[in-house]
C-alpha cells in the first residue's frame, strides 16, 4: 500500500488535503482511491478497482485506508503533530471490556429514546456498521446487554 500527499488548499483556518492511495493485493487485485481530509473528516472522492469491488469490499474500504491515511497525515505535518492528531477520522475508543461496556451504554441509551441503537454505537465509536454490530455482539456475550433471543 502506498499513500501520496498530492495537494493542500488553505483558506483561513481551514486546511483541506488530498491523498492518492494505491493498494495492491497478493492475488493481483488493485485499488486506487482519492481521499480528501478536511475539518469534517476523511472522505473518499474516487475509487478505481481491478477487478471491480463488491459492495462488501466497498463497505470496508474506509477501514483499509484509515491507518495508512492517518500515518500519512502525521508524516505530512511533522512540524505540527497535535494538529495531525486532531484530524484522525475516528474518535479514540477504549478497547477490550471497557469499550464493550461503553458500547452497551450507548446502545441502551438510544433504545430508551427510541433511536437506532446500532447507529448510536456507530456514531460513538466511529466504526462501520459491521464493526459496530460485532462490538454489540461482544457486549451481549459479556452480559452487558440482554441476549438477542430468549432461549426456549
Asked if 16 contacts 8 with a C-beta cutoff of 8 angstroms, the reply is yes
pLDDT band at 86 (very low <50, low <70, confident <90, very high): very low
**In terms of domains, do 60 and 9 share one?**
yes
Sign of CA dihedral 130, 131, 134, 135: negative
In a domain, 16, yes or no: yes
* 3-class SS of residue 34: strand
**In terms of domains, do 77 and 107 share one?**
no
User: Residue 135: what pLDDT?
Assistant: 92
Predicted TM-score (pTM) of this structure = 0.45
**In terms of domains, do 42 and 68 share one?**
yes
**In terms of domains, do 70 and 116 share one?**
no
Q: What is the mean pLDDT of residues 39-48?
A: 79
User: Residue 85: what pLDDT?
Assistant: 43
Q: Which of 40-49, 83-92, 125-134, 136-145 has the lowest mean pLDDT?
A: 83-92
End-of-domain residue from the set 86, 110, 131: 86
Q: Tell me which of 81 and 144 has the higher pLDDT.
A: 144
**In terms of domains, do 81 and 103 share one?**
no
Q: Tell me which of 85 and 50 has the higher pLDDT.
A: 50
- As given in the structure block, the three cell numbers for residue 140 are 451481549
Q: How many domains does the chain have?
A: 2
Alpha helices (H) in the chain, listed in sequence order = 55-59, 61-76, 81-86, 96-112, 117-125, 129-141
User: Residue 87: what pLDDT?
Assistant: 45
User: Residue 80: what pLDDT?
Assistant: 44
**In terms of domains, do 79 and 7 share one?**
yes
Nearest to 2 by CA among 46, 35, 41: 35
Best mean pLDDT range from 5-14, 27-36, 84-93: 27-36
Residues ≥6 apart with Cβ < 8 Å to 95: none
Q: Which domain holds residue 117?
A: 96-141
**In terms of domains, do 73 and 102 share one?**
no
User: Residue 101: what pLDDT?
Assistant: 92
Q: Which of 9-23, 102-116, 121-135 has the lowest mean pLDDT?
A: 9-23
In a domain, 147, yes or no: no
Q: Apex CA 123: angle with CA 49 and CA 42, to 5°?
A: 40
Amino acid at each position: 500500500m502506498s499513500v501520496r500527499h498530492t495537494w493542500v488548499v488553505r483558506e483561513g483556518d481551514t486546511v483541506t488535503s488530498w491523498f492518492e492511495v494505491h493498494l495492491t493485493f497478493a492475488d493481483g487485485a488493485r485499488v486506487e482511491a482519492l481521499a480528501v481530509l478536511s475539518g469534517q473528516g476523511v472522505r473518499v472522492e474516487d475509487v478505481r478497482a481491478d477487478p471491480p469491488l463488491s459492495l462488501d469490499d466497498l463497505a470496508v474500504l474506509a477501514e483499509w485506508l484509515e491507518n495508512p491515511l492517518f500515518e500519512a497525515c502525521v508524516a505530512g505535518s511533522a512540524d505540527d503533530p497535535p494538529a495531525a492528531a486532531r484530524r484522525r477520522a475516528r474518535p479514540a475508543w477504549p478497547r477490550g471490556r471497557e469499550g464493550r461496556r461503553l458500547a452497551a451504554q450507548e446502545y441502551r441509551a438510544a433504545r430508551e429514546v427510541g433511536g437506532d441503537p446500532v447507529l448510536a454505537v456507530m456514531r460513538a465509536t466511529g466504526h462501520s456498521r459491521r464493526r459496530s454490530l460485532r462490538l454489540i455482539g461482544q457486549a451481549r456475550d459479556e452480559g452487558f446487554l440482554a441476549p438477542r433471543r430468549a432461549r426456549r
